[in-house]
Structure 1
Amino acid sequence: MDEQIIDDVRTWLDEVVIGLDLCPFAARPRAENRVRIAVSHARSEEALLDDLQRELERLADTPADELETTLLAIPDMLEDFADYNDFLDAVDIWLEQFGWEGELQVASFHPHYQFADTGPDDAGNLTNRSPWPLLHIIREESLEKAIEHFPDVDGIPERNIRRMEALNADERRRLFPYLFG
């Protein structure tokens, strides 16, 4: 089961995130095999926070030239986006409580991701729709370095929305099969 979950996330990362250039910072660490994809089989928030803590520690204890970032897939809970979104509040508190603020941050991706003030079928939501609920652990120092060398960071979200809007129905079905199954 874990192999399939990891393969799903890897395919999404390669074909959607990198393939559509949604994150201009992802291709290099992926090509250099510095992206960890882990699976949490937690069934409670406490157990998931424990798994997240282990991944935060692993990332903090490993040099960036060996491990840049981690994607933690959550196949056994938080299927409902509202529950997932509520859990992100606990993640923020966790990061603050354990002193990770300023060092690591967590970005969110979910099969039913929906930005505030959008409809569920708005194309822009596809930018954050992953095959499984994910917690993406990012090194703030690496992010800051990448942003320094990117000409228009503020334009990335709008550019990504335009990319999603430009996809035809066949492309959407191919890139997001988990949404049409």
Structure 2
Amino acid sequence: MRTGIIGTGRIGSTLARILVASGHEVLLANARGPQSIGPLLAELGPAASAAHPAEVAEQAEPLVLMVPFASVRGLLPPELVRDRVLVDATNAFNGPGNPAEFGGRTSSELVAEWYPGARVVKSLNTMHFATLAVAGTRPGERLAHFTAGDDEKAKEIVAGIIADLGFAPVDTGSLHAGALLQQPGGPLYNRPLTEAQAQAWISH
């Protein structure tokens, strides 16, 4: 399985590193073009390659969006991601530290609206990049990464990747209810929890 990562900032680059370390291939893209990813590719080795965003959408699955939320709409041709697993790892803010409001809807529901037919899973958005970089290889109980979505098979695919990275996949429910828990302002955002703690919190 080759995972596409769109966005090569601190969090996207970190995800690429730990995926490659776990034996995955990655295909990377950003707004500046493949040449700008050269130094990261040199670090990652032959398991990583770069392309333009639309090419990543054609050649890799799942696709992980790790760009600013304001960049998501129009980023990809919608027809290229129809029926594809699309991981929304973005976080929507109105200014520093101020979670965006969408009239009771979640930002991930908007992503699903912008990319009709895509199998959207909210995941990989709650953990700080510095924790993500090392926590999957630490001894002891695994930390949780969450999945929310309306496509159970898509969530299973993302959960398998989370497990490969050394984390515990925890299902938070539907794209609406689960994403409310995970997005900025929600109780699971930027709150490292072990698998047992996460399961206890969700079931309480």
- Whether these two folds match at TM > 0.5 is no
Greater helix share, structure number: 1
Report the TM-score when normalising by structure 2.
0.33
Greater strand share, structure number: 2
Q: Which has the higher contact order (CA 8 A, sep 6+)?
A: 1
Report the TM-score when normalising by structure 1.
0.35
